Chains A and B, each alone.
Chain A
Amino acid sequence: MNNNLFTYCLRLGDNGLILSHRIAEYCSAGPQLEEDLAITNVGLDLLGQAESFLKYAADIKGAGTTEDDLAFKRKEKEYRCVHLTEIPNIDYAFIMARQFLMDTYNFYLFKKLCSSKDTIIAGISAKAIKEITYHLNRSSDWIVRLGQGTDESHKRIQTAFNDLWMFTDELFETDEIEKDLANQGIGVDSSSLKKDWENKIKEVFSLAGLEKPTIEKHSLAYGKFGFHTEYLGFLLAEMQHIPLLYPDAKW
């Protein structure tokens, strides 16, 4: 089994899996019906991307492993999502700030993955980049709208970014797995995405009249390496509920 490729697919899949779960939690609680529809679209896209990457990871693992086994039957430490995806839906400002930070990251990551030498990763990414381009357009618009809307919306979206900022350094943290796959032209070294990401954030913040938070480093233990926030355990307890309660059943 190609361990590096397996772990890399888990990272790509788990980010979508956990972020789409947070969006699923928000179902029927949007500020208006049009937003319920739009955000569910984003959640569905992310879930579809997660399914594709987890299926690929399951194929790499072999021995009859399925994408559902990986989605629902791993231990918390075996998930590889970044902390940012785990943050709860505190309010609409946090939801959109979290989305915008991830969309921007995903946009530059998947743009590069489209030319991966691994044809499956390239294929999934070619489909995903179309979806992510829409996600980023949508979340950028909302950041500007909230930044420039009312005093309250400005304050809320600035607070959300201030509080979420400490989770962004993880996005660009790299390791031997990424470096190895980047050298082979299969994966992307996350640190190479930072400049584009920062420029896009700067551009949208400037349109929205928002200040870039100053905090840089938040932790030495990251989700992509299996060390999670306290939030993830509760999320998994709910998500894994049925498969763990009825291990022999098929759905």
Chain B
Amino acid sequence: MMEDSKKLEEFQAKIDADVKIEPKDWMPDKYRQNLIRQISQHAHSEIIGMQPEGNWLTRAPSLRSKKILMAKIQDEAGHGLYLYCAAETLGVKREQFLKWLHDGVAKYSSVFNYPTLSWADIGAIGWLVDGAAIVNQVSLQGTSYGPYSRAMVKICKEESFHQRQGYEIIVNLANGTKEQKQMAQDALDRWWWPSIMMFGPHDADSAHSNQSLKWKIKRESNDELRQRYIDKTIHQGEHLGLTFPDENLSWNDKTNHYDYSPIDWDEFWNVVKGNGPGNKARLAHHTKAHNDGAWVREAAIAFQEKQKLKSKIA
């Protein structure tokens, strides 16, 4: 016990001195568990996020937009890969992470349970969903766990391209025909609140926040990050003549921030608990793809084993 508290003290001193924690370093079990949960949830979000965008890949309206969207979805797969690798350094295999996802034990960002109903939604995902994700991820570059922090640095570079890709779609629509402009407004109406909810519950109600901040797994609170996202996004929409679906949205000179309406947490928790429009379909798609691919993975392993055997005999 004495030894543990000494280790814990040394661990906290490292965190306080901004020394990164690496896979072989001693770490408290709760720190490990917290990271396993957060990094795998982040990885799952990247992977499940491929689906709402993939929904429009086969209907992308120009060769250029199709190429860009395809490259973007590929980046998301790459992000998932870095993050699973970072999470695996904590002693859990990818197969286990996927099992937890399929069993509903692990979560992913609830925003991907909303449907993509028009081409403008592809713009809105890039502009708003990736825009919100970047705010969080830029902050996470400074996270205390080395592999996670390094994965974030790489991911942030690509995410800013995604955000611009989405905004470009919205700009084109906002400057297009009347129908296109309506399409952009409709997408903003549907994606604005889900994007705000991506930062999670208010600080006072966030189950993991305090310990995560102390251990520098998270560097800033949910509400701080949410406010930064709102402040940077409003003028981008207004500049295009779009209206945000919040009648209480206004600049507050005293706080130097935008005020906004109360968030509908009932909707948030309802979607988190599995009752969103897409929860079942997203998970079913991922589970089916994984199960359909089992024979391919088995074949690849069997082939590798045979090759090893051959080289031993030779």
Contacts and interface: CB of A to CB of B under 8 A. Distances in A.
Interface of A: 21, 24-25, 27-37, 40-41, 43-44, 47-48, 50-51, 54, 67-68, 71-72, 91-92, 144-146, 148-150, 152-153, 156, 238-239, 241-243, 246, 248-251
A249 B8 CA distance: 62
Interface in B162-207: 169, 172, 176-177, 179-180
B292 A238 contact: no
B62 A68 contact: yes
B53 to A, nearest CB: 8
B296 A153 contact: yes
Nearest to A27: B54
A40 B119 contact: no
A36 B67 contact: no
B58 A30 contact: no
Interface string B53-86: 0100111111111110011011001101100100
B299 A251 contact: no
Given A47-B66, A251-B61, A251-B65, A92 B293 contact: yes
Contacts of A71: 62-63
A29 B282 CA distance: 12
Contacts of B66: 24, 47
Nearest to B49: A28
B50 interface: yes
Given A31-B292, A33-B77, A149 B70 contact: no
B257 interface: no
Given A239-B59, A242-B59, A150 B295 contact: yes
Interface in B102-135: 119
A145 B119 contact: no
B285 interface: yes
Nearest to B43: A33
B84 A33 contact: yes
A246 B47 contact: no
B81 A91 contact: no
Given A28-B73, A242-B119, A153 B59 contact: no
A28 B63 contact: no
23 contacts: A25-B57, A27-B73, A28-B73, A28-B289, A29-B292, A30-B293, A31-B297, A32-B293, A33-B47, A34-B81, A35-B293, A36-B50, A36-B77, A37-B81, A51-B64, A54-B63, A92-B293, A146-B296, A152-B298, A153-B296, A243-B62, A246-B61, A249-B179
Closest 10 CB pairs of A and B: A31-B293, A149-B299, A153-B299, A31-B296, A242-B61, A27-B54, A28-B50, A251-B61, A40-B74, A29-B289
A243 B177 CA distance: 13
B37 interface: no
Given A31-B293, A32-B293, A251-B61, A153 B177 contact: no
B60 to A, nearest CB: 8
B289 A30 contact: yes
B303 interface: yes
Given A51-B63, A152-B295, A239 B77 contact: no
A2 to B, nearest CB: 22
A94 to B, nearest CB: 12
B302 interface: yes
A25 B64 CA distance: 17
Contacts of A72: 61-62
Given A31-B292, A91-B292, A148-B303, A50 B63 contact: yes
Nearest to B66: A47
Which of the listed residues B70, B119, B172, B288 has the most CB atoms from chain A within 10 Å of its own CB? B70
Contacts of A148: 303, 306
Which of the listed residues B54, B61, B67, B285 has the most CB atoms from chain A within 10 Å of its own CB? B61
B303 A24 contact: no
B177 A246 contact: yes
Contact of A92 (B62, B71, B78, B296): B296
B51 interface: yes
A27 B300 contact: no
B67 A248 contact: no
B58 A24 contact: yes
Which of the listed residues A30, A48, A149, A241 has the most CB atoms from chain B within 10 Å of its own CB? A149
Contacts of A48: 67
Nearest to B59: A241
Contact of A145 (B51, B65, B289, B303): B303
Contacts of A249: 61, 176-177, 179-180
Given A28-B50, A149-B302, A239-B58, A47 B77 contact: no
